[in-house]
Chains A and B, each alone.
Chain A
């Protein structure tokens, strides 16, 4: 038997702070970050003075703020930090922040770290035309000469990869739709989800407008204003706090490089071995799965790459209706970024914490011993994995 990994169960998530999400105005990204950390400290029963580490994943609207984690430290009046960084691996950052926090804590460099994401890309409606500025503007990156061909935005970048996956593996529009429908059914059970009150059938999915084929509107994640923070601390302190600790059993990063239209894979293929070995469990032990879902397609690929099905069979797997409420593999149980809210990698992290604490209400999964959390940034460019548990290691 392999020796127990020193990081297994060495740290835990002890606080979760989630601000109102969506078309929420009147706060800057920095303001949302302050709110999220304050909520997470309250949740844990900690005070500002207890923090000695601060990791920030700045969303798009932090653009012009250099040294963001320092700006945030100053805004919150935090003193004497021993760990601070502004990190950006896109959607993989949340998981990576928690990993770096855990590693620093386990090494004795600090004890209690706030990890936060926030963004405020949506602008309120202007009086003259009544329309806000939203997701299309925020994420429609123009890339130099490619604009002459009408190639704009992250939707199109992912669509090229998805189309290739459809060609190579036979993935269909129905497969993509099955992911959207399953996650909406979870969101319908989550009162905090932006799409809580909106049912979605496969017919609705097919009738929804195209954004960039093969993506309909409901293949694409929401865009949200808001903030989300977690507090990570050592095992001894975790046991003494207000909420049941969410123990960090396993972690890994995996960044494939190359062209995602060639690999058609996420970095989960690199992380699944080391993360599960550290956690000393297998994927068969996972009770609840929270996957990064910028698109329905990302969920299919990530399910394949963790080995829940064979490579290329993510589509048929999703279409078996195993991932929705009542299915044998609950995936994205709050509705995910497609139907709940878009806090990059903090969306899956936050839902895992809620599920492992047993706070899922109508959407609570049982058993809920072990959760798998993925983060994915860029176009399948960066990847982080966490294996979390409500049980001490």
Chain B
């Protein structure tokens, strides 16, 4: 069985992966206007500020949208289809593409409360994923 593709750890995204290994979710925050964003960008599309920092966030949010993948686009997912790709809207406003743990596909709902969890793929890569949370 093929392994899932591991993300290339680029210099821009390295702080995210380092934090994830410590089981902490971080996103970028613009030092100009305070907007949270993900993935890493060198420019804030709101205020055009170039100065940003990685900040820990609560890891809580809601499911904004989802798609259930049935086709195998990479052999690493052959044993996983069908699986949900989700967009999580974090409490801080940033949105992340992720996966959903502990949830049968027929229980996936837009708007469901979620919290971050972590899935270790390799010694270098721990993937932030999400699972249902109790309603706040």
Contact = CB atoms under 8 A, between A and B. Distances in A.
B110 A167 contact: yes
B32 interface: no
A146 interface: yes
A156 B74 contact: no
Contacts of A212: 67-71
28 contacts: A136-B71, A142-B5, A144-B10, A144-B39, A145-B39, A146-B97, A147-B74, A148-B6, A148-B125, A150-B4, A150-B73, A150-B77, A152-B69, A152-B73, A153-B73, A155-B71, A159-B68, A160-B67, A161-B65, A164-B64, A167-B110, A210-B82, A211-B71, A212-B70, A213-B68, A214-B67, A259-B95, A261-B65
A151 interface: yes
A65 B133 CA distance: 50
Contacts of B77: 150
A148 B5 contact: yes
Interface string A253-292: 0000001010000000000000000000000000000000
B46 to A, nearest CB: 11
A168 to B, nearest CB: 9
A13 to B, nearest CB: 38
Contacts of A328: none
Interface string A105-149: 000000000000000000000000000000010001010111111
Contacts of B5: 142, 147-148
Contact of B121 (A136, A148, A214): A148
Q: Which of A142, A160, A261 has the most CB atoms of chain B within a 10 A radius of its CB? A: A160
Contacts of B64: 164, 261
A156 B67 contact: yes
| Chief secondary structure at chain A's binding surface | helix
Interface string A212-236: 1110000000000000000000000
Interface string B1-45: 000111110100100000000000000000000000001000000
Nearest to B40: A145
A210 B65 contact: no
A163 interface: yes
B90 interface: no
A156 B85 contact: yes
A206 interface: no
Given A145-B39, A163-B110, A150 B69 contact: yes
B70 A209 contact: yes
A140 to B, nearest CB: 5
Contact of A144 (B8, B99, B111): B8
A211 B82 CA distance: 10
Given A164-B110, A212-B70, A213-B70, A151 B65 contact: no
Contacts of B7: 144-145, 147-148
Interface residues of A, number: 29
A392 B97 CA distance: 51
B65 A163 contact: yes
B80 interface: yes
B127 interface: yes
Contacts of B73: 136, 140, 142, 150, 152-153
A214 B4 CA distance: 24
Contacts of B99: 149-150
Nearest to A137: B73
Contacts of A160: 65-67, 85, 87
Contacts of A164: 64-65, 110
Interface string B73-112: 1100100101101010000000101110000000000110
Contacts of A140: 73
With most chain B CB atoms within 10 A of its CB, the pick from A140, A144, A147, A149 is: A149
Contacts of B121: 148
A193 to B, nearest CB: 24
B70 A210 contact: yes
Contacts of B8: 144-145
A34 B70 CA distance: 38
A121 to B, nearest CB: 15
Nearest to B73: A152
Max chain A Cβ within 10 angstroms of own Cβ: one of B10, B65, B66, B87: B65
B127 A148 contact: yes
Nearest to A140: B73
A159 B97 contact: no
Pairs of residues from A and B, 9 with the lowest C-beta to C-beta distance, nearest first: A159-B67, A213-B68, A152-B73, A145-B7, A167-B110, A210-B70, A164-B65, A147-B5, A160-B65
A17 to B, nearest CB: 34
